[in-house]
């Protein structure tokens, strides 16, 4: 019992999702899942208008700046209602007191609960006053009224709501997905006393590890496609989005290859009219600029109940969800703090059924289960206090086995197991004992980088994290190591770490590691496969990550490689909960390009990699060592010590 006590959805399925995911192929065509044209009458907006009264306000902050805010209050005045706040940089449209959203909260069940729903344009965005700052740095000591951040703006908003919105019960909840998840996390720092429950969902936490950087490697189309629209300067308050960038082709691989070195993007496309792009290129290392945009060190003194939500196949903010949960847990003993992880793409739990992603089926409609049996009970309990709550410390979906698991801690207790790279593409638990020169090698050519997907896409597809990796395994510049067929299920949980011994003939290099579940050759197809796709021999990517080699020892102080010298490179791959079934194989793929998902490393060390010249881009011979002296391996946590010896 003590443990239990411890511990926008936005019209937005197109506005928010398009803004969050502009880089993804399908996001240019996202349908408003909460307002489909075929909906039976009365439509969603009319149902909301029938049950809710909408009002619009300019709420003053402590420095005099006013933030545009919409309030949807239940017309039922027979009882008081808690408030549920979402703060967003992605517009709270539709604007106008007579224009109603198609969805409140995460859907019908939330709207039926009769919360008072509050939506706010954050400072400097759309109809709010002030200057917008990306990932507003947190100010710990706000001794002057002019010292404001997202924590203070949240506090001042709630203070105004408590005194100006009638018929509330004195409790406020807060939530948000992706960038709004960052604002939710920031809002629970030095929180207003009325803020009782917060759910940061896929929260952006630190842009060195979320979204645009992964261990210093630059996710090129992700930032380019996003910032081309989102980063345009606003001249005055507006209800309109800036014009989207037109690539002139559906082929992102060729589009980004044609740009050449990163610095060419300004000359060819942006013309120094996107301020954050210029700021980004000026800070290639993890310096004070990026450290200030890390919310994690400030997650202290958190008083509200917290439920952090993420998706195992979130291509954008997996790091943020896991890290916000972990830091809140570490720094706030006694606070109700739980983690929910499902088999979802970025934000998929809020706008999709969650029964599949790409070619992989998860059996049930996991998103509906989450919304009805996890999210709603969380807010109902802490905002209304009218129901018991039966939520574990970690409510986590086990991929591979396709089932929900409940844990009293995350990560759970596991047994460390290691698989080593051997000759002939073998991956095995025994350490190698070959001679000191044992290695596998490939030529990495930045002019012909390994594609990250077979799909023709203008940016990062939402399905790539479960894509069949056979196309990559067949490339000569990708190394693949796999076990024999497993004679028992192997369930892994928690962090995954690749410990590589590498060398390069160049002076810089990226190292990409993919953990893959190889299906048996006779695995049956399922009904939702696209034409030409088959599950027999499918190489499902379970987890993947990239380490920009210059940052192998320090993100702040990059250093070159000594050509051809074996060098230790550790690649953290984030957490998993996955079962490799009996008869499947565990595979590891290693490569040095992953395009255009990750920008091309010139493979020549330069001080600012974003200012590299054409002549800096060179072929390099890459070696992965597998000797007794320099073993390369992947380390996993096996759940419950289950037997998993390969045949």
Residue 70: what pLDDT?
A: 98
Give the tens place of pLDDT for each residue, 68-91: 999 999 999 999 999 999 999 999
Residue 113: what pLDDT?
A: 93
Give the tens place of pLDDT for each residue, 596-622: 999 999 999 999 999 999 999 999 999
Mean pLDDT of the chain: 92
Q: Can you tell me the distance from the alpha carbon of 389 to that of 336, in angstroms, rounded to the nearest whole number?
A: 12
Give the tens place of pLDDT for each residue, 510-559: 999 999 999 999 999 988 887 788 999 999 999 999 999 999 999 999 99
Task: Tell me how far the alpha carbon of residue 430 is from its chain's centroid.
Answer: 34
Give the tens place of pLDDT for each residue, 179-206: 999 999 999 999 999 999 999 999 999 9
- Percent of all residues in the chain with a pLDDT value above 90, rounded to a whole number: 88
Count the neighbouring beta carbons within 10 Å of the beta carbon of residue 456.
14
The pLDDT of residue 3 is above 80: no
The pLDDT of residue 7 is above 50: no
Q: How many Å from the N-terminal Cα to the C-terminal Cα in the chain?
A: 45
What stretch(es) of the chain map to CATH 2.60.120.260? 414-522+533-639
The pLDDT of residue 386 is above 60: yes
Q: Can you tell me the distance from the alpha carbon of 88 to that of 211, in angstroms, rounded to the nearest whole number?
A: 17
Residue (of 632, 609, 602) closest to 503 by Cα position: 632
Give the residue with greater pLDDT, 577 vs 45: 577
Q: Can you tell me the distance from the alpha carbon of 12 to that of 62, in angstroms, rounded to the nearest whole number?
A: 29
Give the residue with greater pLDDT, 101 vs 645: 101
Q: Can you tell me the distance from the alpha carbon of 59 to that of 516, in angstroms, rounded to the nearest whole number?
A: 50
Quick check: 362 and 245 in contact, CB under 8 A?
A: no
Give the residue with greater pLDDT, 449 vs 640: 449
User: What is the layout of strands, in order, in the sheet containing 539-548?
Assistant: 478-482, 585-591, 510-518, 539-548
pTM flag (> 0.95): no
Q: Can you tell me the distance from the alpha carbon of 622 to that of 117, in angstroms, rounded to the nearest whole number?
A: 55
Residue 6: what pLDDT?
A: 41
Residue 324: what pLDDT?
A: 98
**What is the mean predicted confidence (pLDDT) over 228-251?**
96
My answer on whether omega of the bond before 94 falls inside 30° of 0, hence cis, is yes
Does the domain formed by 414-522+533-639 have CATH 2.60.120.260? yes
- What CA–CA distances, in Å, run from 157 to 47, 135, 182, 300, 613? 27, 19, 16, 21, 48
Give the tens place of pLDDT for each residue, 28-37: 323 333 332 3
Residue (of 499, 482, 644) closest to 579 by Cα position: 644
What SS3 state is found at 494?
A: strand
Quick check: 596 and 612 in contact, CB under 8 A?
A: no
**What is the mean predicted confidence (pLDDT) over 338-346?**
98
The pLDDT of residue 271 is above 70: yes
pLDDT range class, residue 44, cuts 50, 70, 90? confident
Residue 42: what pLDDT?
A: 56
What stretch(es) of the chain map to CATH 3.40.50.1820? 2-206+293-407
For 2-206+293-407, which CATH superfamily applies? Alpha/Beta hydrolase fold, catalytic domain (3.40.50.1820)
């Amino acid at each position: 019992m003590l443990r239990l006590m411890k511990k926008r959805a936005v019209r937005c399925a197109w506005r928010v999702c398009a803004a969050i995911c502009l880089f993804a192929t399908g996001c240019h065509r996202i349908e408003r899942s909460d307002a489909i044209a075929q909906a039976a009458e009365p439509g969603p907006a009319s149902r909301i208008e029938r049950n809710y009264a909408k009002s619009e306000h300019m709420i003053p902050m402590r420095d005099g700046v006013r933030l545009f805010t919409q309030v949807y209050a239940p017309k039922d005045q027979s009882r008081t209602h808690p408030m549920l706040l979402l703060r967003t940089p992605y517009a709270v449209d539709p604007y106008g007191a007579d224009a109603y959203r198609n969805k409140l909260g995460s859907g019908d069940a939330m709207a039926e609960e009769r919360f008072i729903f509050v939506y706010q344009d954050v400072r400097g965005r759309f109809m709010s006053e002030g200057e917008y700052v990306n990932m507003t740095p947190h100010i710990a000591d706000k001794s002057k009224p002019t010292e404001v951040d997202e924590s203070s703006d949240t506090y001042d908003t709630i203070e105004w709501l408590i005194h100006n919105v009638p018929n509330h019960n004195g409790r406020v909840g807060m939530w948000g997905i992706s960038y709004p998840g960052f604002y939710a996390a920031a809002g629970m720092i030095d929180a207003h006393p009325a803020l009782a429950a917060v759910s940061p969902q896929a929260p952006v936490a630190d842009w060195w590890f979320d979204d645009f950087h992964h261990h210093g490697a630059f996710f090129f189309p992700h930032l380019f496609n996003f910032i081309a629209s989102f980063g345009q300067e606003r001249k005055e308050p507006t209800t309109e989005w800036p014009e989207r960038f037109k690539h002139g082709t559906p082929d992102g691989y060729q589009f980004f290859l044609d740009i050449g070195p990163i610095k060419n993007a300004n000359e060819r496309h942006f013309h120094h009219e996107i301020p954050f792009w210029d700021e980004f290129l000026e800070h290639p290392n993890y310096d004070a600029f990026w450290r200030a945009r890390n919310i994690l060190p400030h997650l202290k003194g958190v008083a509200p109940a917290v439920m952090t939500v993420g998706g195992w196949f979130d291509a954008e903010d997996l790091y943020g969800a896991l890290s916000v949960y972990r830091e809140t847990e570490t720094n706030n003993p006694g606070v109700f703090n739980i983690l929910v992880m499902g088999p979802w793409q970025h934000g998929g739990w809020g706008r999709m059924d969650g029964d599949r992603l790409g070619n992989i089926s998860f059996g049930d409609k996991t998103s509906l289960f989450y919304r009805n049996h996890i999210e709603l009970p969380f807010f109902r309990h802490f905002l209304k206090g009218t129901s018991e709550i039966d939520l574990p410390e970690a409510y986590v979906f086990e991929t591979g086995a396709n089932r929900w698991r409940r844990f009293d801690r995350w990560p759970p207790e596991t047994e460390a197991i290691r698989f080593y790279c051997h000759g002939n593409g073998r991956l095995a638990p025994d350490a190698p004992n070959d001679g000191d020169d044992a290695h596998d090698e490939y030529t990495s050519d930045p002019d012909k980088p390994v594609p990250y997907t077979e799909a023709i896409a203008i940016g990062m597809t939402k399905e790539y994290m479960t894509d069949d990796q056979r196309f990559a395994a067949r490339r000569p510049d990708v190394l693949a190591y796999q076990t024999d067929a497993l004679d028992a299920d192997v369930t892994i949980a928690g962090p995954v770490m690749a410990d590589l011994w590498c060398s390069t003939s160049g002076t810089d290099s990226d190292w990409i590691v993919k953990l893959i579940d190889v299906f048996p050759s006779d695995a049956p197809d399922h009904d939702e496969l696209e034409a030409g796709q088959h599950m027999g021999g499918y190489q499902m990517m379970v987890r993947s990550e990239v380490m920009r080699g210059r940052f192998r020892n320090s993100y702040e102080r990059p250093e070159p490689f000594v050509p051809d010298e074996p060098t230790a490179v550790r690649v953290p791959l984030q957490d998993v909960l996955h079962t490799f079934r009996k008869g499947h194989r565990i595979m590891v793929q290693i490569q040095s390009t992953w395009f255009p998902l990750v920008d091309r490393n010139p493979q020549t060390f330069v001080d600012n990699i974003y200012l590299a010249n054409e002549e800096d881009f060179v072929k390099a011979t890459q070696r992965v060592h597998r000797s007794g002296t320099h073993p390369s391996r992947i380390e996993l946590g096996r759940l419950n010590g289950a037997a998993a010896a390969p045949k």
